[in-house]
Amino acid sequence: MRARAATGSAGATSRTATGAAAAEQAVTGQTATGPAVTRQGATADPAPLPPAPGAEQHVALDFANSELTSRAGRLDLLATPDAATRWLIEHELAPDDAVLYEYCAGRLRELRAQLRVLLASRIDGTLPPAEAVRAVNTALTTAPAASLLHWDEAHGPYRAPAHPADRVAEHAMAAIAADAAELLTGPDGERLAACSASPCNRFLVRTHAARHWCSVRCGDRVRAARAYARRTQQAKRSGE
Protein backbone atom coordinates (compact mmCIF):
# COMPACT_ATOMS: atom_id res chain seq x y z
CA MET A 1 0.00 0.00 0.00
CA ARG A 2 1.02 3.60 -0.47
CA ALA A 3 2.68 5.54 2.29
CA ARG A 4 0.72 8.66 3.27
CA ALA A 5 1.63 11.89 4.98
CA ALA A 6 -0.84 13.98 6.98
CA THR A 7 -2.61 15.06 3.81
CA GLY A 8 -4.16 11.60 3.37
CA SER A 9 -4.90 9.70 0.18
CA ALA A 10 -6.83 12.28 -1.84
CA GLY A 11 -3.76 13.60 -3.64
CA ALA A 12 -2.23 10.23 -4.48
CA THR A 13 -3.62 9.81 -7.97
CA SER A 14 -2.80 13.35 -9.03
CA ARG A 15 0.71 13.12 -7.57
CA THR A 16 1.42 9.85 -9.39
CA ALA A 17 0.06 11.24 -12.64
CA THR A 18 2.19 14.34 -12.16
CA GLY A 19 5.31 12.20 -11.85
CA ALA A 20 4.42 10.24 -14.97
CA ALA A 21 3.67 13.43 -16.87
CA ALA A 22 7.03 14.86 -15.84
CA ALA A 23 8.69 11.74 -17.18
CA GLU A 24 7.27 12.19 -20.65
CA GLN A 25 7.54 15.99 -20.66
CA ALA A 26 11.22 15.57 -19.94
CA VAL A 27 11.66 14.33 -23.49
CA THR A 28 11.43 17.92 -24.66
CA GLY A 29 13.28 19.25 -21.62
CA GLN A 30 10.34 21.36 -20.41
CA THR A 31 7.54 21.16 -17.88
CA ALA A 32 4.90 23.64 -16.89
CA THR A 33 7.36 25.19 -14.44
CA GLY A 34 10.57 25.06 -16.43
CA PRO A 35 13.39 22.66 -17.38
CA ALA A 36 12.87 19.01 -16.53
CA VAL A 37 15.18 16.05 -16.11
CA THR A 38 17.33 15.53 -19.19
CA ARG A 39 16.51 12.48 -21.26
CA GLN A 40 18.93 10.65 -23.48
CA GLY A 41 17.05 10.09 -26.73
CA ALA A 42 15.62 11.51 -29.86
CA THR A 43 11.94 11.88 -30.68
CA ALA A 44 9.37 13.17 -28.19
CA ASP A 45 6.28 11.08 -27.53
CA PRO A 46 3.00 12.90 -28.26
CA ALA A 47 1.49 12.91 -24.77
CA PRO A 48 2.37 12.09 -21.13
CA LEU A 49 2.53 8.41 -20.33
CA PRO A 50 0.00 7.48 -17.63
CA PRO A 51 1.01 5.55 -14.51
CA ALA A 52 1.40 1.82 -15.10
CA PRO A 53 -1.50 -0.30 -13.79
CA GLY A 54 -0.90 -0.90 -10.09
CA ALA A 55 1.40 2.10 -9.64
CA GLU A 56 -1.28 4.17 -7.95
CA GLN A 57 -1.82 1.40 -5.40
CA HIS A 58 1.84 0.46 -4.90
CA VAL A 59 4.42 3.18 -4.46
CA ALA A 60 7.13 0.50 -4.78
CA LEU A 61 5.97 -0.25 -8.33
CA ASP A 62 6.04 3.43 -9.26
CA PHE A 63 9.47 3.66 -7.64
CA ALA A 64 10.77 0.75 -9.73
CA ASN A 65 9.35 2.45 -12.82
CA SER A 66 11.14 5.73 -12.09
CA GLU A 67 13.86 4.59 -14.48
CA LEU A 68 12.19 4.58 -17.89
CA THR A 69 13.26 3.34 -21.28
CA SER A 70 11.12 4.17 -24.29
CA ARG A 71 11.42 5.03 -27.96
CA ALA A 72 12.42 8.53 -26.85
CA GLY A 73 15.39 7.22 -24.87
CA ARG A 74 16.20 6.65 -21.22
CA LEU A 75 14.96 8.81 -18.37
CA ASP A 76 15.97 8.53 -14.71
CA LEU A 77 13.62 10.40 -12.37
CA LEU A 78 16.16 9.92 -9.55
CA ALA A 79 19.19 10.99 -11.58
CA THR A 80 20.10 13.94 -9.38
CA PRO A 81 19.50 14.90 -5.74
CA ASP A 82 16.98 17.54 -6.84
CA ALA A 83 15.14 15.06 -9.05
CA ALA A 84 15.07 12.43 -6.29
CA THR A 85 13.81 15.00 -3.79
CA ARG A 86 11.06 16.05 -6.17
CA TRP A 87 9.99 12.42 -6.72
CA LEU A 88 9.75 11.76 -2.97
CA ILE A 89 7.77 14.94 -2.34
CA GLU A 90 5.36 14.19 -5.20
CA HIS A 91 4.72 10.76 -3.71
CA GLU A 92 4.26 12.14 -0.18
CA LEU A 93 7.34 10.34 1.09
CA ALA A 94 9.13 13.52 2.18
CA PRO A 95 8.10 16.96 3.42
CA ASP A 96 8.01 19.87 0.99
CA ASP A 97 11.17 21.38 2.48
CA ALA A 98 13.20 18.18 2.23
CA VAL A 99 16.75 18.36 0.88
CA LEU A 100 18.67 15.32 -0.36
CA TYR A 101 22.32 15.04 -1.30
CA GLU A 102 23.97 12.78 -3.83
CA TYR A 103 24.78 10.10 -1.25
CA CYS A 104 21.09 9.70 -0.41
CA ALA A 105 20.02 9.88 -4.07
CA GLY A 106 22.54 7.14 -4.82
CA ARG A 107 21.09 4.95 -2.07
CA LEU A 108 17.62 5.41 -3.54
CA ARG A 109 18.86 4.41 -6.99
CA GLU A 110 20.57 1.33 -5.54
CA LEU A 111 17.39 0.26 -3.76
CA ARG A 112 15.48 0.75 -6.99
CA ALA A 113 17.93 -1.44 -8.89
CA GLN A 114 17.57 -4.23 -6.34
CA LEU A 115 13.78 -3.86 -6.34
CA ARG A 116 13.69 -4.25 -10.10
CA VAL A 117 15.66 -7.47 -9.72
CA LEU A 118 13.07 -8.74 -7.21
CA LEU A 119 10.15 -7.82 -9.43
CA ALA A 120 11.74 -9.59 -12.40
CA SER A 121 12.37 -12.69 -10.27
CA ARG A 122 8.76 -12.68 -9.05
CA ILE A 123 7.52 -12.49 -12.64
CA ASP A 124 9.91 -15.18 -13.91
CA GLY A 125 9.44 -17.46 -10.92
CA THR A 126 13.17 -17.57 -10.23
CA LEU A 127 15.13 -17.24 -7.00
CA PRO A 128 16.47 -13.69 -6.65
CA PRO A 129 20.01 -12.91 -5.51
CA ALA A 130 20.39 -12.72 -1.74
CA GLU A 131 21.73 -9.20 -2.17
CA ALA A 132 18.39 -7.99 -3.55
CA VAL A 133 16.41 -9.48 -0.67
CA ARG A 134 18.90 -8.06 1.81
CA ALA A 135 18.56 -4.57 0.31
CA VAL A 136 14.80 -4.52 0.97
CA ASN A 137 15.18 -5.94 4.47
CA THR A 138 17.86 -3.39 5.30
CA ALA A 139 15.61 -0.57 4.14
CA LEU A 140 12.76 -2.02 6.19
CA THR A 141 14.76 -2.00 9.41
CA THR A 142 16.84 1.16 9.00
CA ALA A 143 13.99 3.54 9.91
CA PRO A 144 10.41 3.02 11.08
CA ALA A 145 7.83 3.28 8.31
CA ALA A 146 4.87 3.64 10.67
CA SER A 147 3.07 6.96 10.92
CA LEU A 148 3.46 8.50 14.35
CA LEU A 149 0.82 10.22 16.48
CA HIS A 150 0.93 14.03 16.40
CA TRP A 151 -1.28 16.51 18.23
CA ASP A 152 -1.40 20.27 17.87
CA GLU A 153 -3.86 23.12 18.14
CA ALA A 154 -4.21 23.59 14.40
CA HIS A 155 -4.96 19.96 13.46
CA GLY A 156 -5.83 18.17 16.66
CA PRO A 157 -4.72 14.51 16.80
CA TYR A 158 -3.45 13.03 13.56
CA ARG A 159 -0.88 10.56 12.26
CA ALA A 160 2.02 11.44 9.99
CA PRO A 161 5.45 9.97 9.22
CA ALA A 162 8.38 11.32 11.19
CA HIS A 163 10.88 12.99 8.88
CA PRO A 164 14.00 14.05 10.76
CA ALA A 165 16.03 16.30 8.50
CA ASP A 166 18.92 13.86 8.38
CA ARG A 167 16.80 10.74 7.83
CA VAL A 168 14.39 11.67 5.05
CA ALA A 169 15.85 9.10 2.67
CA GLU A 170 15.78 6.35 5.31
CA HIS A 171 12.11 6.91 6.08
CA ALA A 172 11.22 7.00 2.39
CA MET A 173 13.18 3.82 1.70
CA ALA A 174 11.50 2.08 4.65
CA ALA A 175 8.05 2.97 3.32
CA ILE A 176 8.96 1.85 -0.20
CA ALA A 177 10.47 -1.40 1.10
CA ALA A 178 7.37 -2.12 3.21
CA ASP A 179 5.16 -1.69 0.17
CA ALA A 180 7.53 -3.80 -1.94
CA ALA A 181 7.33 -6.66 0.56
CA GLU A 182 3.54 -6.43 0.53
CA LEU A 183 3.42 -6.35 -3.26
CA LEU A 184 5.77 -9.30 -3.71
CA THR A 185 4.04 -11.51 -1.13
CA GLY A 186 0.43 -10.41 -1.66
CA PRO A 187 -2.17 -11.27 -4.32
CA ASP A 188 -0.96 -8.51 -6.66
CA GLY A 189 2.37 -10.30 -6.86
CA GLU A 190 0.68 -13.04 -8.87
CA ARG A 191 -0.41 -10.46 -11.44
CA LEU A 192 2.94 -8.71 -11.84
CA ALA A 193 4.19 -8.44 -15.41
CA ALA A 194 6.79 -6.63 -17.48
CA CYS A 195 5.55 -4.49 -20.35
CA SER A 196 5.85 -6.47 -23.58
CA ALA A 197 6.23 -3.42 -25.80
CA SER A 198 9.97 -3.16 -26.38
CA PRO A 199 11.91 -1.09 -25.46
CA CYS A 200 9.59 -0.12 -22.59
CA ASN A 201 10.95 -1.46 -19.31
CA ARG A 202 8.06 -0.67 -16.96
CA PHE A 203 6.43 -3.16 -14.64
CA LEU A 204 2.68 -3.40 -14.09
CA VAL A 205 0.00 -5.29 -12.21
CA ARG A 206 -2.25 -6.93 -14.78
CA THR A 207 -5.88 -5.90 -14.62
CA HIS A 208 -6.81 -8.99 -16.64
CA ALA A 209 -5.00 -12.05 -17.94
CA ALA A 210 -4.69 -10.77 -21.48
CA ARG A 211 -2.98 -7.51 -20.52
CA HIS A 212 0.65 -7.40 -21.61
CA TRP A 213 1.34 -3.66 -21.84
CA CYS A 214 1.74 -0.88 -19.31
CA SER A 215 -0.30 1.64 -21.31
CA VAL A 216 -2.63 1.99 -24.26
CA ARG A 217 0.21 3.67 -26.12
CA CYS A 218 2.50 0.69 -25.73
CA GLY A 219 -0.28 -1.67 -26.79
CA ASP A 220 -1.10 0.43 -29.85
CA ARG A 221 2.57 0.51 -30.81
CA VAL A 222 2.82 -3.28 -30.69
CA ARG A 223 -0.38 -3.75 -32.68
CA ALA A 224 0.75 -1.21 -35.27
CA ALA A 225 4.10 -2.97 -35.62
CA ARG A 226 2.36 -6.32 -36.09
CA ALA A 227 0.01 -4.86 -38.69
CA TYR A 228 2.94 -3.33 -40.56
CA ALA A 229 4.78 -6.64 -40.48
CA ARG A 230 1.73 -8.43 -41.91
CA ARG A 231 1.33 -5.87 -44.69
CA THR A 232 5.02 -6.11 -45.55
CA GLN A 233 4.86 -9.89 -45.66
CA GLN A 234 1.75 -9.80 -47.83
CA ALA A 235 3.40 -7.33 -50.20
CA LYS A 236 6.42 -9.62 -50.54
CA ARG A 237 4.17 -12.59 -51.32
CA SER A 238 2.25 -10.59 -53.89
CA GLY A 239 5.46 -9.64 -55.64
CA GLU A 240 6.70 -13.20 -55.91
List pLDDT tens digits, range 142-181: 876 677 888 999 999 998 766 665 689 999 999 999 999 9
pLDDT tens digit sequence for 87-99: 999 999 999 999 9
pLDDT at 198 over 90: no
For the ranges 17-21, 103-107, 115-119, 163-167, the lowest mean pLDDT is seen at: 17-21
Overall pTM > 0.75? no
181: exposed, middle or buried (Cβ count in 10 Å: 0-12, 13-18, 19+): middle
pLDDT bin (cut points 50, 70, 90) of residue 69 is confident
pLDDT score, position 71: 72
Q: What is the pLDDT of residue 109?
A: 98
Q: Which residue has the higher pLDDT, 228 or 104?
A: 104
Residue spans of the domains in the chain: they are 12-239
pLDDT above 50 (res 36): no
When the pLDDT of each residue in the chain is averaged and rounded to a whole number, the result is: 78
- Lowest-confidence pick of 1-10, 65-74, 215-224: 1-10
Lowest mean pLDDT among 42-51, 123-132, 188-197: 42-51
Which fold is adopted by the domain 12-239? Jann2411-like fold (1.10.3300)
Please report the pLDDT score of residue 76 as a whole number: 95
